[in-house]
């Protein structure tokens, strides 16, 4: 009796599903996020913070190197108490540099997460809105899907690009070229 009820329920579910056409969509989410105008601003802020951090780190290294060279040149003439004081100073500087490097990396990661969160949220909401408007039950990200049949799945990327204000001529290739040109024109770190 239980088997008959289970089979009847399964048949009912299958017939209900086959009577309704399921619609799926796909999107290149990474491309959307990378090409959004807000992402340019986030990159600029992140790059500026990274540059400031690098400059501070570099000045700390230069100060340490200067003091170390002075130590090497004069250590033979210093009294034991001065020698001990200078060694402690160098040791303390090394520790401060290491602590700065660790905290700066953590702060830069946190800044990047803060900058990216609203961008991801806006892109997700846009895709969700477009999917609902088109009556889709599921949207796949093409970066993480193993296979998508483009004939049976609706590509939401063009509509999302328009909704997010991404110019038609802006592509991942043009973005890469922009970023490479910017990197080449920036002063090189030592």
Question: Edge-to-edge strand order for the sheet containing 24-27?
Answer: 138-141, 24-27, 153-155
In b/e form, how buried is each residue of 6-45, taking b as 16+ CB within 10 angstroms?
eeeeeeeeeeeeeeeeeeebbbbbebbbbbbebbeebbee
pLDDT at 41: 94
pTM of the model: 0.74
- List, in sequence order, every residue forming a beta bridge with 155; answer none if it has no partner: 26
Give 34-70 pLDDT, tens digit per residue.
Answer: 999 999 999 999 999 999 999 999 999 999 999 999 9
pLDDT in tens, 90-123: 999 999 999 999 999 999 999 999 999 999 999 9
pLDDT at position 183: 83
Mean of pLDDT over the chain: 88
Predicted pLDDT of residue 56: 96
């Amino acid at each position: 009796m239980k088997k008959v009820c289970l089979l009847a329920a399964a048949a009912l579910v299958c017939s209900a599903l086959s009577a309704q056409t399921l619609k799926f969509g796909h999107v290149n989410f990474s491309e959307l996020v990378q090409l959004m105008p807000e992402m340019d601003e986030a990159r600029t802020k992140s790059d500026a913070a990274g540059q400031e951090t690098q400059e501070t780190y570099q000045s700390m290294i230069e100060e340490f190197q200067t003091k170390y060279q002075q130590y090497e040149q004069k250590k033979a003439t210093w009294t034991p108490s001065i020698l001990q004081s200078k060694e402690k100073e160098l040791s303390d500087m090394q520790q401060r540099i290491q602590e700065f490097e660790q905290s700066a990396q953590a702060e830069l990661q946190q800044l990047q997460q803060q900058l990216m969160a609203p961008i991801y949220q806006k892109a997700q909401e846009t895709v969700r809105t477009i999917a609902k408007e088109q009556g889709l039950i599921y949207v796949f990200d093409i970066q993480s899907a193993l296979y998508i049949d483009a004939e049976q799945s609706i590509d939401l990327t063009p509509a999302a690009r328009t909704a997010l204000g991404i110019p038609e001529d802006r592509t991942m290739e043009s973005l890469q070229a922009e970023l490479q040109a910017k990197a080449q024109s920036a002063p090189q770190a030592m």
